[in-house]
Chains A and B, each alone.
Chain A
Amino acid sequence: MERDLVEYIVKSLVDDPQAVEIKVIEGEKSTILELKVADTDVGKVIGKNGRIARAIRTILSACANAQSKRVILEILD
């Protein structure tokens, strides 16, 4: 579900939605989302001073499920 959310947001922001890949690593207390986008789009998901990445993480932490389990978003480049 968090995966869907991140996928939807990221795909709406990048130039190359086809290249968006998300790998979910389920841990005991936390879920790690590894996000991969086209090289040219990395800046678009991070933003100036990481503003966009921070906004996505804030929204993740406000998810209905996030109350019980931590969700960590990692952006790979």
Chain B
Amino acid sequence: MKRQRIFAFVKIQLQSLIKVPTALFIVLLLPVALILIFGFAFGSIYVEDYGWTGQSGYLFEFMVPGFIAISGLFMAIPVALSFSEDREQGLLKRINTTPTSAAEFMGSHVISNMIMAIIQVAIIFILTFLMGGMKLITLEGIILSFVIMVIFSLSTIGFGLITATISKSAKAAGGIVWIFLLPQQLLAANLYPLPPETQIVTMFMPLHYASDALTLLFYGVDLSNLRIWWDLMILVIFSLVLIVAGILLFKKYGRA
């Protein structure tokens, strides 16, 4: 693994965030818009005895964990699109003719996307705080939420890589990625109550664990609550499995 190659790739990936409007919109503007719209829409609705903790507060405060978790999902889109576009333009083939190893290539993309995820989560957290969506959570809870979101982003990068592998074009990738994202958004974001039967399905969705842990933390539940750590552990396993599967599949079938 040569640092010069990894830095070069990380640099151009981060440049793409600034220079490619689609990436900027999906990674930063869309989540920001989501928080702003729902913040203003539900920020003044006061609810009593809400959810399983029976707490009272503004509706936006209870929805925020789900929105933050959903924002992490968006990372899959630029990953899937950028790899598919690079393949369409023959860039993956060209890179394959240089001495760059698959580990350097994939590793640098995971690093750059993790940096993007950290920037994304930081902006969303700051915005949520400013919109008054962080009244119940403790400082330790905020730090742990941040870690959970970054780990969760890793799993969505894995989804992005799998999408790029099975998609023949960037256009196809833009559609296929929603097969992974939409069910998670609808069923696992904890935005609204769902019948218990859906739990069997959501057990296989990383977003379920991210949003569950975030919900607990944003409701001000103590960090000693084992459910948070259980969620985190499953999330780590999910992320590792998805990222390794994504890398292996992409390495074998996605580079040509």
Are A and B bound to each other?
Answer: no
Give the interface of B toward A (CB within 8 A): none
Give the interface of A toward B (CB within 8 A): none
